[in-house]
Amino acid sequence: MAHRLATEYVKTCLKLSEAEMTDFIRLFQEHKATLHVMVLDNGSQNVVLHDDASGEEVILTFERDANGFICRGSCKLTSPNLANLMRRAVSRFKGDAIVNRYYSSFTMVYHYHQGNVVKIIEVKGSKHKLVYEYKDTLGQLERLFQNKEPEKEIASLYAQINQLLDLRNATPEREIREHIDRKLSRMTHRLFVLEA
């Protein structure tokens, strides 16, 4: 099994309420990470994470906003404990992130959206291989089911076909009737496709 050398949070966005900020701090404290919080003049906070086992230290800046705190930025972690805790934090607090997990001969790039992994790419040199991509199959089926456009088109075709049939019955000229028959043929084929 490959040994991870480092984890880099390239683009991270965590939005935390006051209560979630307390939970964020508790998450790290409960898992052998020393944590110091420095409150800045504008209410923003610098959270210093220190892994007791490895001695690694990381500073995360949480800017104050109307709804709580926002942490945007990047950090590189070599401590497996801090990397695991950051992964848990991104997942638990529905964060967005692009995370590079470095190994000796390749890099795994994880894309998080609202706390869920939506894509994993393996990078070896200049080669990129898609390992996983989330497909919202249920959502796609739901949107397809909710789509009313086919029903509207079917109703419109029925109305047009009825008008053309009335016009065909009222027209004595053979050329016009043949032209109407060709249009009716195309419309009935389209109707068959929509109703299938």
User: Residue 127: CA atoms inside 13 Å, Cβ hemisphere, count?
Assistant: 5
The full length of the chain comes to 196
pLDDT tens-digit readout, 37-78 = 999 888 899 999 888 778 888 999 999 998 899 999 899 999
pLDDT tens-digit readout, 9-21 = 999 999 999 999 9
* Under 8 Å between Cβ of 44 and 69: yes
Which pTM was predicted? 0.69
**pLDDT score for 117:** 95
Q: DSSP secondary structure string, 8-32?
A: EEEEEEEEE-HHHHHHHHHHHHTTT
At position 55, the amino acid (one-letter code) is: G
Confidence of residue 92 (pLDDT cuts 50, 70, 90): very high
Helices (H) then strands (E): counts for the chain? 5, 9
**Percent over 70 (pLDDT), the chain:** 98
b/e burial code for range 79-103 (CB count within 10 A of at least 16 → b)? bebbbebbbebbeebebbbbbbbee
* SS3 label, residue 139: helix
* Under 8 Å between Cβ of 16 and 62: yes
Bridge partners, residue 97, by sequence: 12, 112
Strand residues in the chain grouped as ranges (E): 4-16, 33-39, 45-51, 57-65, 68-77, 96-103, 107-113, 116-124, 127-133
More confident call, 136 vs 85? 85
